Amino acid sequence: EVQLVESGGGLVQPGGSLRLSCSASGFTFSTHAMNWVRQAPGKGLEYVSAITSNGAATYYADSVKGRFTISRDNSKNMLFFQMSSLRVEDTAIYYCVKLGVGSWYEAWGQGTLVTVSS
Amino acid sequence: DIVMTQSPDSLAVSLGERATINCKSSQNILHSSKNKNLLAWYQQKSGQPPKLLIYWASTRASGVPDRFSGSGSGTDFTLTISSLQAEDVAVYYCQQYYSSPYTFGQGTNLEIK
Report the pLDDT value the prediction gives residue A82, as an integer from 0 to 100: 98
For the beta carbon of residue B57, count every other beta carbon within 10 angstroms.
Answer: 24
B36, B93, B100 member nearest A59 (Cβ): B100
Whether the predicted pLDDT of A102 surpasses 90: no
Mind listing the pLDDT tens digit for each residue in A50-89?
A: 999 999 999 999 999 999 999 999 999 999 999 999 999 9
Using omega within 30 degrees of 0 as the cis cutoff, is the peptide bond preceding B8 cis? yes
Question: What pLDDT, in 10s, does the model give residues A9-66?
Answer: 999 999 999 999 999 999 999 999 999 999 999 999 999 999 999 999 999 999 999 9
Q: Which of A61, A102, A108 sits opposite B50 (nearest CB)?
A: A108
CA distance A100 to chain B (A): 10
Cα angle A11-B103-A87, degrees, rounded to a multiple of 5: 25
Cβ neighbour number for residue A39 with a 10 Å cutoff: 20
Q: For chains A and B, count residue pairs whose Cβ atoms are closer than 8 Å.
A: 56
CB contact under 8 A, A45 and B95: yes
* Sign of the dihedral through C-alpha A50, B32, B95, B17: negative
The answer to whether A105 contacts B50, with C-beta atoms less than 8 Å apart, is: yes
3-state DSSP assignment of residue A71: strand
At residue A106 the predicted structure's pLDDT band, cuts being 50, 70 and 90, is: very high
- Minimum Cα–Cα distance from B61: chain A residue: A106
Q: Cβ contacts (< 8 Å) between A61 and chain B: which residues?
A: 101
d(CA A61, CA A26): 28
The pLDDT, as a whole number, for residue B23 is 98
Q: Own/partner pairs for A54-60, CB < 8 Å, 24+ apart?
A: A54/A30, A59/B100, A59/B101
- How far is residue A63's CA from residue A37's CA, in Å, rounded to a whole number? 12
Confidence (pLDDT) at B38: 97
DSSP-derived pairing of the beta strands A78-83 and A18-25: antiparallel
Q: Cβ contacts (< 8 Å) between A45 and chain B: which residues?
A: 42, 50, 93, 95, 104, 107
Strands A45-51 and B108-112 turn out to be unpaired
Q: In sequence order, what are the beta bridge partners of A82?
A: A19, A69
Intervals of chain B under pLDDT 70: none
Beta-carbon separation of A108 and B51 below 8 A: yes
Exposed e or buried b for every residue in A52-80, given b needs 16+ CB within 10 A? Answer: ebebeeebbbeebeeebbbebebeebebb
Mutate to test the interface with A, among B6, B60, B104 (most CBs of A within 10 A): B104
Annotate B6-27 with DSSP letters as a single string: EE-SEEEE-TTS-EEEEEEESS
